[in-house]
Amino acid sequence: MPELHPLLAIDLAVEADRIVDAMRRSVRGTMKRKGAVLGLSGGIDSSVCAALAVRAFGADKVMGLHMPETDSADETLELSQLMADSLGIDTALENITPILEGAGCYRRRDDAIRSVIPEYGTGWRSKIVLPSVVESDSFRVFSVVAQPPEGDPIKVRLPLQAYLEVVAATNFKQRTRKMLEYYWADRLNYAVIGTPNHQEYDQGFFVKNGDGSADFKPIAHLYKTQVYALAEHLGVPGEICRRPPTTDTYSMPQTQEEFYFSLPYDRMDLCLYGMDHGMSPAEVAPLVGLRTEQAERVYADIVGKRKAARYLHLSPQLVGSAAEDHTA
């Protein structure tokens, strides 16, 4: 686990108290909900959110959901249960594979992959990947990597329609999980806690109406390395803190850098911080071990992702005033 850079230093105890207070005021005061539901992924973000929710509402008012599917990593369920046990919260196991099969998630995705790799079939595994921002100035367009049961991976650039279809089909996973979180929230009269960190929230690393949907997002303002530091402060088990960030969405192992971000999270934190605090790429570059032109490409990638994220953050648009202001 990387050290928290001095630029990102926060008082962890004060920050935890501030978040817990805000969660209580919003969930109990504004929403009039009794507790919190959240999906547990065995990763650092959902684990920290669960620990904060327990501080805010008590272990008996937090419901953790395990929602694995056929492509989930083996350790996902093991680590998410470890977190739940360490907090003493109730959990429910909702295997979402049958729902995804019913919705055609896997079939639609596999048909799209077969449109570019005709031999793709039973027993193959796959993921989609982006080229490195740091190593190349090419536009970042996705390729699919597919591996037969016995054989080397094949990598093919995804044309527009296949790319859109793979993403659309895969997004069933995040949307199905959110549907179940709201089922549990409704039946318990709880609020749904969303788990994005600052990098994810800022750069749009979420599915609209999927993991992007929630009633409260307690760590959306925290850089990823701050989340790790908070995890240690909150006593999140070491196995979870040491797990490399993963999308856990495709059947082949996939890092978040392959799928979305242009740098490993600790260096991305510093680039985001630098960009938002008026530091030039030349000033940030030595902090993250890059040349200036590489840092310039990272900045450009962040700008591009923020533009794309605007649609993801956009609320439904109305032609005119349709009701009193319910958000007041």
Partner 1 sequence: MSIIETVNANQIEAQLREFIVENFFVEDELDATESLTDAGVIDSTGVLEVVSWIEDTFAVTVPDADILPDNLDSIARIVRYVTGCVGA
Positions in the binding site for partner 1 (CB under 8 A): 137-141, 143, 157-161, 163-164, 304, 307-308
Write down the least CB distance from residue 276 to partner 1, Å. Answer: 20
* Smaller CB separation from partner 1, 30 or 138: 138
The 10 Å CB-count burial string (b at 16+, else e) for 16-48 is beebbeebeebbbeeeebebbbbbbbbbbbbbb
The distance of closest approach from Cβ of residue 136 to partner 1 in the complex, given in angstroms and rounded to an integer, is 9
How many residues comprise the chain?
328
The β-bridge partners of 193 are 216
Sign of the torsion angle spanned by Cα atoms 234, 238, 239, 240? positive
Question: Helices 105-114 and 160-188: crossing angle, nearest 10°?
Answer: 170
61-71: b or e for each residue (b if 16 or more CB lie within 10 Å)? bbbbbbbbbeb
Considering beta carbons, is residue 282 or 303 the nearer one to partner 1? 303
Residue 108: name the closest of 24, 173, 60, 203 by CA: 173
- SS3 call for 202: helix
> One-letter amino acid identity for 78?
E
Nearer to partner 1, 237 or 304 (CB): 304
Residue 73 CB coordination number (10 Å) = 17
Rounded to whole angstroms, the Cα distance separating 65 from 91 reads 5
Is 7 or 164 the residue whose CB approaches partner 1 more closely? 164
Taking the least distance from each CB to partner 1, the nearer of 231 and 263 is 263
Is 267 or 297 the residue whose CB approaches partner 1 more closely? 297
Residue nearer to partner 1 on the CB measure, 98 or 159: 159
Rank residues 17 and 137 by Cβ distance to partner 1 and give the closer one.
137
Nearer to partner 1 (CB atom), residue 282 or residue 308 = 308
Q: What is the DSSP letter of 28?
A: I
Q: How far is the CB of 163 from partner 1 (least distance, A)?
A: 6
User: In angstroms, what is the minimal distance from the CB of 138 to partner 1?
Assistant: 5
Measured from the CB of residue 140, what is the shortest distance to partner 1 in angstroms?
6
Give the nearest distance from C-beta 145 to partner 1 in angstroms: 13
Separation between Cα atoms, residue 136 and residue 243, nearest integer Å: 28
Angle at which helices 12-23 and 224-234 cross, to 10°? 90
Report CA-CA distances (Å) from 269 to 9, 254, 287.
12, 20, 11
* Minimal distance, residue 224 CB to partner 1, in Å: 22
What letter does residue 177 receive in the DSSP assignment? H
Tokens of 252: 């082949």
Question: Shortest Cβ distance from residue 165 to partner 1 (Å)?
Answer: 12
C-beta of 313: minimal distance to partner 1 in Å?
15
